A = this chain, B = another copy of it.
């Protein structure tokens, strides 16, 4: 009987299994934490689906789960990261966002205060990007069956008419551009997780790249391929590109933008910035003739101020992906096959 049942969010300051039962307490959690933050009315029907307008252009769909540890790190948290990561996946496919869904797996015992902070951060990131969280889901698993909380965000977008992007458009002679410094997110998370501190705090670069990419696509410059350099870093993106084509990529080590703090941290930890995850950087393969103009355009924005041409697509190389180091020695750029950095996103 509703009148005799304590308000669960008042009676407990932690997530309970009952919050996942799909009944009264679930609805209260959804209303009091999610609907409130995401701007719906508290009296909206709590549909787990949303109805969005028709779309006159191809629809882009992308999905990502976020399992990062710790939940809060210098420069961001799992809530804002989930919004940025999914918006960036849409943006590099050439899409403007239509809406996001968010699905939450919560561990029994998670402090409600932690949940609220993450939900509020997700809501703020979505508001800043001008995109709505249109549908959601909440599950609760018993203590020990998950670690704190995991989030899935799925993004829907409208393909831009001017986006003609794909690995099949890449050809020898094209230039490889990165939109800024490499490795900031991965090192920030490792630092937060391990308790290693550096002289200057290293912040995650987690941000919404849609405005920067939108401006680039508006420019009419010849952009062949875009990809955000997340898990696996720049190296994984370059390997993925070359696996689908019949060309090689050579990058120049001296041209890679890396902050001095990240460079120092990588030396200390025995890591290479090309393997480290970013959450606010993308790789663009662009026509040779437009490469300088692309970099100049990116540098005009705060989120692209360290953009650089870092390499070229070549017809054949000593390896599919190689690095020209100092003293012009060319070596293969391999990918890590161990697991140096779990739970980075």
Could you tell me which A residues sit within 8 Å of B by CB distance? 1-2, 5, 8, 16-18, 20-27, 43, 45-67, 69, 89-90, 93, 95, 98-99, 101-105, 134-137, 139-142, 144-147, 150, 152, 154-156, 159, 166-167, 230-232, 235-236, 239-240, 243-244, 275, 277, 319, 332, 334-343, 345
Contact = CB atoms under 8 A, between A and B. Distances in A.
A334 B47 CA distance: 21
B21 A336 contact: yes
Given A23-B337, A336-B23, A240 B46 contact: yes
B67 A156 contact: no
Contacts of A139: 65-67, 343, 345
B156 A61 contact: yes
B235 A23 contact: yes
A81 to B, nearest CB: 13
Given A103-B65, A137-B64, A339 B93 contact: no
A277 B193 CA distance: 39
B53 A54 contact: no
Nearest to A56: B54
A258 to B, nearest CB: 19
A69 B154 CA distance: 24
Copies in the complex: 2
Contacts of A101: 61-63, 154
Contact of A27 (B46, B49, B159, B243): B243
Given A56-B54, A145-B146, A49 B67 contact: no
Nearest to A69: B145
B49 A230 contact: no
Given A21-B341, A337-B23, A54 B59 contact: yes
Contact of A62 (B49, B141, B236): B49
Contacts of A277: 22
Contact of A134 (B61, B89, B150): B61
Contacts of A2: 334
A134 B59 CA distance: 12
Contacts of A5: 337
Given A26-B231, A26-B232, A49-B90, 13 more contacts: A1-B319, A16-B339, A18-B337, A20-B342, A22-B231, A45-B166, A50-B60, A52-B60, A61-B134, A65-B137, A140-B342, A152-B154, A154-B154
